[in-house]
Structure 1
Amino acid sequence: MAVNTGAIAVLIICFFVMIFLRFPIAYSVALSAILCLLYQGKDLSVVCQQMVKGISSFSLMAVPFFITMGVLMGSGGISEKLLNLADACVGWMTGGLAMVNIVASYFFGGISGSASADTASLGSLEIPMMVDRGYDVDFSTAVTISSSVEGMLVPPSHNMVIYATTAGGLSVGSLFLAGYLPGAVLAGSLMVGSYIISKKRNYPKGNPFSIRHFLKELSVSFWALAAILIVVVGVVAGLFTATESAAIAVIYSLLVSVYIYKGLDWKGVWKSLEDCIDTLSIVLILISTSNVFGYCLTTLHVPDLFASAIHGISENPIIIALLLNLILLILGCIMDMAPIILISTPILLPIATSIGLDPVQYGIIVILNCGIGLLTPPVGGVLFIGSAIAKRPMEKIVIATLPFYGMMLVALLLITFVPNISLFIPKLFGYVSTAPGVIGMLAGA
């Protein structure tokens, strides 16, 4: 295997230099790839070919539909209804509003699939509500931004579609099913942390649990939650492809938002569609330019070199799994989610499968790592949104979030080393995994 060290250096160094100079990520990816190709003396027509190839995928057509569905439902007046449902479920506990915040994010994640949308939509309601009830503003914000990460694990998530495509046509339905238990594990770990802090600070409980009140709120929220059933059940049962189910869910979301919840009028619908186009243009540019970057990585054999380097550090599957998580966490501090998935998956997925991680399980690990990255400076988009909503300095929010970082890392380790957290539900629906898991690989050795 011939190694062009100079071209690799040009590609990697130019990319990270532009990242630290705060170039837009799409420009960093594209320009570093172009400079690498120029260094090798290759025809730049490759750039156009690979960009078109990157977005010429039927499964990627689901991405704009899921984004549109999330924006319509998020703007359609469902946030308050999901908050009320969460309150009916867990508001009676110590630190009740913190628990409500976490559970509401689990529900809302199934609607929006976006941590940013969760924080912006629910946070504007939850943070003032918690402060009015005597909760510390920094704690309230920390709970809000931490729980928003659940939204990327609970399907439908357009990031899962991006990962499935990048991983070589992995089953989107299996990824959707795989997200429920990890999302619940993350929610449970955050609730434990919130309970301990609430107990120490004597935060109040809500109203006692009432099954009648719960059923009432469930009936109100049913129309919003049914959108998840359309997507997940439709895909898993084989009634629709992911793209078809997403398109149907967009029409359903439009009808629910305009005619049932009446949170949107037609003027608001057009404004929501403008927001969708803005988001989608960014996502598609990233996918197309990242495909050029990935082409350079592949032709330069960087995945093979990286795998050799990782295995050179240790052959122990546990150490390698921890290294993979560390790499993803570091990338999350300096890059946004989509580029991490697009760039790192071709490099790291073969290493992950070599130590017994199933591609579906690894996808959940990637998404959770990227979600944690959204809460970390200097590029934590969700951290910035939470700070802006609460009108608090970012460093204060980071300090308040430290216990929740710890709880999220506990959830990450459980998901990494207990495969059935991710794979139990997919296996129930016929997904066959031959991966032994990290611990299984170690035992086999």
Structure 2
Amino acid sequence: MTTFILFGSFFFFLILTVPIGIALGLAGLVTALYSSNISITFLAQGLVTATDNFALMAVPFFILAGELMGRGGISNRLFDLANVFVGRLTGGFAMAAVLTCMFFSAISGSGPATVAAIGGIMIPAMVAQGYDKRFATAVIVSAGSLGIIIPPSIPLVLYGVSGNQSIGDLFMGGILPGILLGVVMITWVYIYSKKKNYTGTKEKFTFKNMLIKLNHAKWSLLVPVIILGGIYGGIFTPTEAAVVAVVYAGLVSFLFHKQIRWKDIPIIIRDATLNSVVILLIIGTANAFGTLLSMERIPQAIANEFLSISENSLILLLCIILLLLLIGCFIDTSAAVIIFTPILLPIALELGVDPIHFGVLMIVTLAIGFITPPLGVNLFVGSGISGIGMPALARAVVPFFFVMLFSLAVIIIIPPLTLLFL
């Protein structure tokens, strides 16, 4: 009965459109009030102990670094660089948009932030070049999902904390899958553009122009090099890398790009703080929710049910992936990672799946949730930027949904894509 109260109240609050972090906390509170064996104080303790973690300090710092770089004038520079390489090809503008999202993902660590930063510039530019607005928006919305796959990725940090795995290894594991997704998206963009006769800019490639654009974007391109190079060079931890990213982003935005003024700082800090608080609240309440799950031995029951489905490890892994696809449609990525990692990771280990490989699979699968209704956060951001209604935009991203599913299947079948650099 306690389990029914826990999940029933949680989904009841979700139906009432209560924010996910608050819904988790209220579900825990209702369950504690119902059960005489559970003290209400554990909720407060869960909020504190879950966030009292050195590794989690990376989350607000990476968010702040993303805000600084997002407002620091890097979007145009990254697009100009990408456009040099692919702009002259069929569908070159759209392909450059995907590349720009990939570059920006290595800075922001967030899907919606990538869509917001790139979409406001690229969607009008693509429409001006003759692209259909729905297709242009679908490209940005879908490529923005790479923000949580290509490191530094906030959900990968959360998985590392929840599953007690190396965040540095997870960052390295996300590189090739993120690139694969980007390449497959670019391939689909080319095929679609060929069909619709979306021509390129007809601007010839020259090394001189490439060097000029590369020089303009050099400070932005150094961010992932500094972060990953510092972590794997043993210079600093992932959390310290986040702090370094903030300092570097501030220097670049103020001194080199000169796109941020002193009066912008309070707004940037406010936005970064609000985003950080939302994630940390979800972490705290999800920890209390997870504690209740453990007390009721629900993870073990779910694990036993999964393992009884089949003796084939691939079939069981596919069942987990299908479950995560469904979860991504309804639950925020951060909350899903925190709640389901303790439940699903032991099952994956029982199946002989490497924990780093499983972590990347989990994040890639949940990234698809950014473009699937009813939650589809990227859809809402893209709809707000372009003015296209949600139903029309949801239909426009269907091909990209299958593109991402294809990429996910390749990552499942070829684990070295994740583990090569470890």
Shorter-chain TM range is over 0.9
TM-score w.r.t. structure 2 length? 0.97
Count how many residue pairs are aligned between Structure 1 and Structure 2: 420
C-alpha distance 317-71 of structure 1, shift in aligned 2 (>3 A): same
Q: Compute the displacement of 1:129 (Å).
A: 0.8
Which residue of structure 1 lines up, in the alignment, with residue 247 of structure 2? Answer: 251
Q: Distance in 2 between matches of 1:280 and 1:53?
A: 17
Deviations 1:24-58 (A, max 9, x none): 11121111112223333122111122221101111
Give secondary structure in 1 for the equivalent of 2:420. Answer: helix
Q: Distance in 1 between matches of 2:32 and 2:4?
A: 12
Which residue of structure 1 lines up, in the alignment, with residue 192 of structure 2? Answer: 197
The letter of the residue matching 2:194 is: K
- Is 1:147–2:143 an aligned residue pair? yes
Q: Distance in 2 between matches of 1:416 and 1:37?
A: 40
Q: Distance in 1 between matches of 2:204 and 2:142?
A: 26
Deviations 1:70-117 (A, max 9, x none): 000001111100011111122222110111011111100011111111
Which residue of structure 2 lines up, in the alignment, with residue 408 of structure 1? Answer: 404
Which residue of structure 1 lines up, in the alignment, with residue 268 of structure 2? Answer: 272
Q: Percent identity?
A: 38
Give secondary structure in 2 for the equivalent of 1:148. Answer: helix
Q: Distance in 2 between matches of 1:308 and 1:200?
A: 49
Q: Distance in 1 between matches of 2:114 and 2:85?
A: 19
Q: Distance in 1 between matches of 2:152 and 2:335?
A: 19
Deviations 1:252-289 (A, max 9, x none): 11111011101100111221011111111111111111
Aligned match of 2:18 in 15, 18, 23? Answer: 23
Q: Distance in 2 between matches of 1:244 and 1:46?
A: 31
Aligned match of 2:57 in 50, 55, 61? Answer: 61
TM-score w.r.t. structure 1 length? 0.92
The letter of the residue matching 2:7 is: I
Q: Distance in 2 between matches of 1:349 and 1:241?
A: 24
Which residue of structure 2 lines up, in the alignment, with residue 32 of structure 1? Answer: 27
Q: Distance in 2 between matches of 1:60 and 1:277?
A: 14
Give secondary structure in 2 for the equivalent of 1:425. Answer: coil
Q: Distance in 1 between matches of 2:128 and 2:344?
A: 46
- Is 1:350–2:346 an aligned residue pair? yes
Contact 1:29-1:289 within 8 A present in 2 as well = yes
Q: Distance in 2 between matches of 1:88 and 1:151?
A: 22
Contact 1:26-1:286 within 8 A present in 2 as well = yes
1:177-192 equivalence runs, <5 A = 177-192=172-187
Deviations 1:90-149 (A, max 9, x none): 222211011101111110001111111111111111111111111111010111111111
- Is 1:217–2:218 an aligned residue pair? no
The letter of the residue matching 1:39 is: Y
The letter of the residue matching 1:178 is: G
Give secondary structure in 2 for the equivalent of 1:378. Answer: coil
- Kindly report structure 1 stretches of 4+ aligned residues shifted beyond 4 Å: none
Contact 1:116-1:382 within 8 A present in 2 as well = yes
The letter of the residue matching 2:409 is: L
Which residue of structure 2 lines up, in the alignment, with residue 11 of structure 1? Answer: 6
Q: Compute the displacement of 1:356 (Å).
A: 2.4
Which residue of structure 1 lines up, in the alignment, with residue 114 of structure 2? Answer: 118
The letter of the residue matching 2:402 is: G
Q: Distance in 1 between matches of 2:357 and 2:88?
A: 34
1:42-441 equivalence runs, <5 A = 42-168=38-164, 170-206=165-201, 207-426=203-422
Deviations 1:365-388 (A, max 9, x none): 121122111111111111011111
Q: Distance in 1 between matches of 2:34 and 2:304?
A: 25
Q: Distance in 2 between matches of 1:416 and 1:297?
A: 28
Consecutive unaligned residues of structure 1, counting only runs of 5 or more, are 1-5, 427-445
The letter of the residue matching 1:200 is: K
Contact 1:91-1:209 within 8 A present in 2 as well = no
Give secondary structure in 1 for the equivalent of 2:89. Answer: coil
Q: Distance in 2 between matches of 1:93 and 1:312?
A: 51
Deviations 1:169-198 (A, max 9, x none): x11111111111001110111111111111
Q: Distance in 2 between matches of 1:425 and 1:187?
A: 19
Q: Distance in 1 between matches of 2:206 and 2:113?
A: 30
Give secondary structure in 2 for the equivalent of 1:374. Answer: helix
RMSD across aligned positions (CA): 1.2
Deviations 1:362-414 (A, max 9, x none): 11112112211111111111101111111111111111111111100001111
